[in-house]
Structure 1
Amino acid sequence: MVKERGSRWPIKVLSLLLAVFLWMYVTNELNPTKEQVLRQIPVETRGLGAGLAVLNMSRQVTLRVQGNQNVMADLAARSVEVSVDLSGVKAGKSRLPVSVKLPPGVRLVDVTPDEIMVEIDRLAEKHVHIKPEVTSRPAEGYRQMKAVVKPSQVVLKGPQKVLAGIDAALARVDLRDRTVNVLETVPVQLLDKQGKVVEKPGVDIVPAQVEVFVPIVVELPSRTVPVKVPVTGVPAEGLEVTAVIPEPKTVTVTGRWEVLAGIREITAEAVDITGVKEDVLRAVRLRLPAGVTSPATPEVRVLIRVGPVTGQPQAPGPGTQAPPQEDRDTAPGGA
């Protein structure tokens, strides 16, 4: 009886091996092993030290993985984690191994590349002025005034080498066929030292968007006329006014044509020279008629020269005035 039981062990072992083989065969037939290539898998960075920034590195790898069919069918690129550990890495270039984390049941066959060259730079901050830029023109009969950007500066944060190449920022707005004031929120673009837009600068821009305000006004006719500066009083005894010289001598004003047609000169505030003993230099404001503007020249400077009396009587009344200047008219849209 003992011999009979002992003689059955080889049969039992063989049966077990046949069962395992049969199970593996059936399993492989029903759920075979598959191999898959995952391309352009993003590489993350971990453990970067404070005050440092990644200047340059390869951001993608290709993976070749294996797994049973039922596991591989649900495999997606987003379930794979690829990273490089930057712990303890200092500024400069370093070649670091790629770490891959896969879902359960998936095996890594190959990763290309298996090492990545990483260039680290010190983190810096830079304040940059924003230049407004308008494209196209408003509708016919309208013109734009000076564009205003709010805020006027942005703060850039990133690698020192990248920030060194950035010279200014740009906020662009389109005025095509506009007839009313424009207020838009637009993204900030960065410019290099040659004035070209930097594509994908790799720095943080704070704020990333700004407001641009561009006033749009009706394009009115303009006219250039002489400036007249009245003088009141008389200088000290034995002296007289020899010249009144405004600067500029002419001013361009805008307004409706029926208003401009009656304007031959623009008078400034009067200057009192009572008792003066030497030349007088003053800044005086222009007195613009209603409906007339001169945004470029709200005031003028005037030099009043005095000298010894030459025997000619001084003009009575308000005093000597600037000699008349020939005026020039400009139709809408002209110079």
Structure 2
Amino acid sequence: MNKINLLFKKDSVIKVISILIAVFIWFIVLDQENPYEEKILSIPLSSNTEVLRTNNLQIIGNQIPSSVDIKIKGRRDHVTAVAANDFHCNIDLSEVTSSGTKTIKIDTPKYLGDKDIMITSVNPSSVVLSFERVVGKQYPVNVEFLGKLPPGYELVNFRVDPGNVILEELESSIEKVEKVIAYVNLDDIGDNTEIIMRATAIDTNGEVVRQFEGKIPIIVRFDLARRLPVLAATKGEPADDFYLKEITYSLPEIRVLGAKKVLESLSRIDAEAIDISGKSSSFSTPLSLLVPEGVTVYNADAEKLTADVILDQYQTRNINIPASQIIIYSDITGNKTFKISDDPISVTIKGRSDIINSVKPSDINASIQANGFEDGVHEVPLIIKVPANVSLIGEYTVNITIEEETGATPTPTNP
């Protein structure tokens, strides 16, 4: 006890004790006026999702949260002065290199301010994420037509740009795609020669794969063609005894290209006249087509189109005309009999073989004029009229006997 009394009598000891008491009192006052407090803040969470592209990965399902909650502790004046933007928090995805579900730890937040605070908890401290590989696959663009064009019309020089498309998407989505189709509605074809549209991804069941809906831009280009006959006239005359039998074409119709409103006004395509002057045999020739303005001939048809000009020689044929078919015209009076001694009469006609072969004796009109003759035998000209497109070769006469009537008499006809 005496030692303690002696200790308190020393000035230095008293001073130390006084300081300790003052500090203790200060802390008591500080705890009352500026106590320790805790505060929960929602701070932004950043990430480096771009590193996933290096490994062609993508997050599926639950995504990275945009923020995390932290609890901080410190004196009231420090805690109240701290804001969410004073912290940096990150989640690192650089270690993710394969598909699957993984638990990714959230890095400890960093305080960027100058207040005396501490972070006591982070929620969540990790996230469970699922990753799937992004793959690319090339598909040809197939074209399917809807509706129909008018008869005689078709699309030529048809092309799709691009002809192949590369689809990039999650592997599970790409596996669904069986083909890519461009649907072209023929009912909508007018004067346009290209259609800007979106192709459609189709799965194995024929259903649309919605992930790619509206995401496959293409351009379909084409020319509208109409099939029309060709007509070529001729000029000049062939060699003697020859005639133009027919003109045939290597193509029954050719395709011409143009705007629909122009094509609708056409019924055929004319060609420059073919010169057959002096020709005595059949021949082939290319044609120079006379196409209207705004119309072109489809190249594939133009290269194949020729005309075969068929020339044939006129043929002759002998036809026997019975005497009973000859009409006798006479102005002789009295009872006379008229008898043609030539029976039958053979005449020669000339013309196209198909025409003269179809001529019958009854198709030929034959007559004589027995005027001013005495009784007896007389040679008189035979007047013959042959059908159209047939000519008579030579001149003909017949012998007619005129006698007094002794019995039944054929009555001649007055001209």
TM-score, normalised with respect to structure 2: 0.41
TM-score, normalised with respect to structure 1: 0.49
Pick the structure with more helix per residue. 2
- Which structure exhibits the higher relative contact order, with contacts defined as CA atoms closer than 8 Å and separated by 6 or more residues? 1
